[in-house]
């Protein structure tokens, strides 16, 4: 008896073709699983909440110790260290934007309720930024740029900046948004302004309603050429075209009148419909309210009785929706402590003058800390991240203007080391630079156009020779782009591009911007969190395994992930108020019953004979734990399945094959495990007889 074998799952999820065209070794969906070094399916471990760190933000590790950050006086659990970072404007911390280590100490960028952004090194605020911002690092142009970047993540609008002006446009034409501005003086001159203007008021779309009039045939008798509907005129135009005899009943007469009016549509534009003995005459498409008030006259002859509307009425002219457009112009005397707020639909977007000249991400390379601000990539003094002022005594701090090295002026968002270069990311380009301890030796290398990221924390160095990042098309590999700069023929994320695009489409713009990547330390898996779904790459080139699957970390309770931290060989996720250890403190904690439900959906397999009917005889599988198994057999209706049962043994042994009667040309196994403990699938087989060669 022939059988179809799936020996491993080393290709993981593959959405490049429809499910009906599946290839053995691929998955259509793998949820809460990953692929092992041998190609088996294995359920993930449990995320265990070990520390409650409410009131703090972010997470990082240093010398094997876990750290969290905040601005208030707090006590954190034993096993966690706390670094207090205060806003000079005395407002509370709202977010950790980035954390890096330099010379064994933290370099932290934090944001506060005032809208202020501060840089800290070893727990002390880097006051050198005050001089940089005040002298040349910020103005109302940078303020507009920062505010536009913040507002751009609002779900209702899009925002751009030019000079000191921010233009805010509704995403959906016809859907209005509320907007207001406010300023608070923090400096010596109280003349700061944020002037709001409406460039285009919202126009709600209106669907056209065509004007109508009605005519009812009330009675008559048969007498051809005598008892008739002689004419129907609208605004003096006869739309009937010829007289219609009363034809034996009011209803049949009305039907003939309606047909006659409609037959002349190409001439006069009117059409008619009939219900019973009543005819409704409708004006031409596109006329809207224009025919309202047109005289409507139905003329009878003989003993035919009619009743009719006096005029056409009810027409409404269509109105195309127009997007609301407002501008905010910042002005006055620029001072770093002044505060500005733009409120969209009740959500406050805040910034200070100083924040507009501060970097929001950090990169460490060649004995310096680097941070992007607009199109400038600033760097600190060699070996001293407390000095950023180029004019300071002994300072060699400065900046590279990326906009002068390549076409475009996109806002820079992140940087990562790529082989012996540094890749600087905007949403549309990646610029490669050769760096050195001596600024005189900095050198532009190349620009990769039409690829980049809106999610700075998705940019992650992978191994020694590559960088992964979330592009608009999916997960991209900088190495693959650099090698070919062509369509993504062999890029790392090709197999799930369409799946990732669907995930991103379902995210808010802020969720997309907050997408976060990490490398799991034990097996080197790449994780990228997209809202509530984590996509996972198991990449073991020696075994020719490159497999994408997904995790759904419901343990986080829907709280967004703020940070991933590698500490003592384990991966810790900060979500909400808790630090979650993957696999618990021991690194091997499996889920309990019903906690982490693993799902395996295979594509349809046909044994390379998709047009041949097969008589399904049995199913074999090598697995651990208990899995509920079904076989989908209709690619036109994937909900139609054959129940195989709950399997908990290796059925290949001792004639343990599970009998499965059925008839189809292809099948797609679906296996689900909700029982606690370790769970895996190594291989499976489908036994069948072919209609072409029954045995």
In this chain, the answer to whether the domains covering 139-205+321-355 and 212-308 adopt an identical fold is no
Torsion of CA 390, 391, 395, 398, to 10 degrees: 10
Q: What is the DSSP string of 402-422?
A: HHHHSS--PPP-EEEEETTEE
pLDDT of residue 403: 86
Which of 375-384, 448-457, 479-488, 561-570 shows the lowest mean pLDDT across its residues?
479-488
The residue among 278 and 411 whose pLDDT is bigger is 278
CA-to-CA distance for 169 and 151, rounded, in angstroms?
10
* Arithmetic mean of pLDDT, 154-166: 95
pLDDT of residue 1: 65
pLDDT of residue 662: 73
pLDDT band at 491 (very low <50, low <70, confident <90, very high): confident
Establish how many alpha carbons lie within 13 A of residue 658's alpha carbon, considering only the half-sphere containing its beta carbon. Answer: 23
Q: Check pLDDT > 90 for residue 136.
A: no
Are 474 and 487 a contacting pair, CB within 8 Å? Answer: no
Gyration radius of the chain over CA positions:
34
Per residue in 621-665, pLDDT (tens digit) is 999 999 999 999 999 999 999 899 999 989 887 666 677 777 888
Report DSSP state, residue 136: I
Helix (H) or strand (E) holding 30: strand 29-31
Which listed CATH number (2.60.40, 3.40.50, 1.10.3210, 1.10.287) goes with 139-205+321-355?
2.60.40
Per-residue buried b or exposed e for 275-305, using 16+ beta carbons within 10 Å of the residue's own CB: eebbbebbbeeebbbebbebebbbbbbbebe
Q: What is the DSSP string of 545-583?
A: EEEEEEE--GGGTTPPEEEEEEETTEEEEEETTEEEEET
Establish how many alpha carbons lie within 13 A of residue 225's alpha carbon, considering only the half-sphere containing its beta carbon. Answer: 0
* Arithmetic mean of pLDDT, 167-174: 97
- First-to-last alpha carbon distance for the chain, in angstroms, is 7
Q: What is the DSSP string of 460-498?
A: EEETTTEEEEEETTEEEEHHHHHHH-SS-SS-TTGGGHH
Per residue in 49-102, pLDDT (tens digit) is 999 999 999 999 999 999 999 999 999 999 999 999 999 999 999 999 999 999
Sorted by sequence, the CB contacts under 8 Å of residue 495 that are 6+ apart come out as: 11, 12, 13, 14, 15, 16, 26, 546, 548
Mean pLDDT for the chain? 93
* Arithmetic mean of pLDDT, 265-293: 96
Helix (H, G, I), strand (E, B) or coil at 307: strand
| Closest listed residue to residue 562, CA positions, set 587, 579, 581, 549 | 579
Per residue in 93-131, pLDDT (tens digit) is 999 999 999 999 999 999 999 999 999 999 999 999 999
CA-to-CA distance for 499 and 643, rounded, in angstroms?
27
Strands 80-84 and 65-70: parallel
Q: What are phi and psi of 155, to 5 degrees?
A: -70, -15
Q: Which two tokens mark 624? A: 């651990």
pLDDT of residue 488: 37
pLDDT band at 489 (very low <50, low <70, confident <90, very high): very low
- Classified by CATH at the fold level, domain 3-15+36-45+595-690 comes out as Jelly Rolls (2.60.120)
pLDDT of residue 464: 83
CA-to-CA distance for 225 and 522, rounded, in angstroms?
96
Which listed CATH number (2.40.390, 1.10.3470, 3.30.70, 3.40.50) goes with 212-308?
3.30.70
* Arithmetic mean of pLDDT, 428-443: 94
Name 686's bridge partners: 4, 619
pLDDT of residue 409: 65
Sorted by sequence, the CB contacts under 8 Å of residue 466 that are 6+ apart come out as: 418, 477, 478, 479
CA-to-CA distance for 311 and 326, rounded, in angstroms?
43
Strands 363-365 and 347-352: unpaired
pLDDT of residue 652: 84
Per residue in 511-559, pLDDT (tens digit) is 999 999 999 999 999 999 999 999 999 999 999 999 999 999 999 999 9
Per residue in 354-365, pLDDT (tens digit) is 999 999 999 999
Share of the chain above pLDDT 90, in %: 85
Residue tagged 């590999």 (tokens): 477
Are 358 and 129 a contacting pair, CB within 8 Å? Answer: yes
Residue tagged 């500490």 (tokens): 567
Q: For the chain, which residues make up each domain, given as ranges?
A: 3-15+36-45+595-690, 46-125+558-589, 139-205+321-355, 212-308
Residue tagged 């790459």 (tokens): 537
Task: Outline where DSSP puts E strands in 332-379.
Answer: 339-344, 347-352, 363-365, 368-373, 376-379
* Arithmetic mean of pLDDT, 26-40: 97
């Amino acid at each position: 008896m022939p059988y179809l074998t799936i020996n491993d799952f080393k290709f993981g999820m593959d959405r490049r073709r429809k499910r009906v065209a599946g290839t053995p070794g691929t998955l259509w969906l793998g949820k809460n699983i990953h692929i092992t070094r041998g190609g088996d399916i294995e359920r993930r471990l449990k995320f265990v909440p070990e520390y409650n760190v409410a009131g703090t933000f972010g997470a990082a590790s240093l010398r094997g110790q876990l750290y969290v950050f905040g601005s208030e006086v707090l006590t954190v659990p034993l096993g966690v260290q706390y670094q207090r970072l205060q806003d000079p404007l005395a407002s509370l911390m709202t977010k950790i934007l980035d954390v890096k280590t330099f010379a064994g100490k933290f370099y932290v960028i934090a944001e506060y309720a005032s809208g202020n952004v501060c840089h800290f090194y070893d727990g002390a605020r880097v006051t050198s930024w005050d001089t940089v911002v005040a002298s040349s690092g910020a103005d109302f142009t940078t303020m507009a740029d920062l505010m536009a970047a913040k507002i751009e993540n609002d779900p209702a609008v899009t925002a751009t900046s030019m000079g000191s002006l921010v233009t805010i446009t509704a995403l959906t034409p016809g859907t209005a948004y509320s907007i207001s501005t406010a300023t608070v003086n923090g400096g010596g001159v109280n003349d700061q302004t944020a002037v709001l203007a409406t460039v285009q008021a919202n126009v709600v779309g209106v669907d056209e309603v065509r004007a109508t009039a009605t005519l009812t045939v009330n009675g008559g008798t048969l007498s051809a050429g005598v008892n008739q509907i002689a004419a129907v005129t609208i605004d003096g135009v006869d739309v009937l075209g010829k007289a219609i005899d009363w034809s034996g009943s009011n209803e049949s007469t009305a039907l003939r009148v309606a047909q006659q009016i409609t037959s002349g549509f190409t001439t006069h534009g009117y059409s008619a419909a009939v219900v019973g003995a009543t005819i409704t005459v409708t004006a031409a498409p596109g006329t809207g309210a224009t025919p309202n008030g047109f005289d409507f006259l139905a003329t009878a002859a003989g003993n035919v009785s009619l009743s009719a509307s006096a005029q056409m009425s009810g027409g409404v002219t269509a109105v195309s929706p127009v997007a609301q457009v407002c501008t905010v112009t910042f002005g006055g005397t620029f001072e770093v402590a002044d505060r500005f707020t733009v409120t969209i639909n009740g959500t406050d977007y805040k910034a200070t003058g100083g924040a507009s000249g501060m970097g929001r991400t950090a990169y460490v390379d060649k004995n310096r800390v680097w941070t992007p601000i607009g199109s400038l990539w600033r760097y600190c003094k060699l070996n001293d991240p407390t000095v950023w002022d180029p004019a300071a005594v002994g300072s060699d701090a400065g900046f590279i203007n990326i906009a002068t090295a390549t076409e475009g002026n996109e806002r820079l968002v992140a940087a990562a080391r790529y082989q012996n270069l540094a890749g600087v990311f905007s949403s549309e380009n990646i610029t490669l630079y050769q760096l050195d301890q001596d600024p005189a030796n900095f050198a532009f290398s190349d620009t990769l156009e039409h690829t980049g990221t809106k999610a700075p924390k998705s940019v992650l160095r992978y191994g020694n020779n590559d960088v992964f990042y979330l592009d608009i098309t999916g997960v991209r590999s900088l190495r693959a782009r650099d090698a070919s700069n062509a369509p993504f023929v062999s890029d790392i994320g090709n197999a799930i591009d369409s799946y990732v695009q669907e995930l991103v489409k379902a995210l808010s713009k802020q969720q997309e911007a907050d997408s976060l990547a990490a490398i799991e330390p034990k097996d080197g898996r790449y994780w990228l969190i997209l809202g509530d779904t984590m996509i996972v790459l198991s990449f073991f080139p020696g075994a020719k395994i490159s497999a994408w699957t997904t995790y759904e970390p419901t343990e986080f309770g829907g709280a967004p992930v703020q940070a991933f931290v590698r500490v003592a060989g384990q991966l810790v996720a900060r979500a909400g108020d808790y630090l979650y250890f993957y696999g618990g403190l021991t690194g091997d904690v499996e889920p309990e019953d019903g906690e982490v439900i693993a799902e395996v959906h295979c594509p349809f397999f046909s044994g390379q004979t998709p047009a041949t009917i097969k008589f399904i005889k049995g199913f074999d599988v090598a697995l651990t734990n208990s899995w509920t198994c079904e076989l989908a057999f209709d690619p036109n209706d994937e909900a139609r399945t054959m129940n195989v049962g709950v399997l908990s043994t290796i059925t290949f042994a001792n004639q343990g094959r599970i009998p499965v009667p059925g008839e189809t040309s292809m099948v797609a196994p679906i296996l689900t495990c909700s029982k606690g403990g370790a769970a895996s699938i190594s291989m499976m087989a489908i036994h069948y007889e072919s209609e072409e060669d029954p045995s």
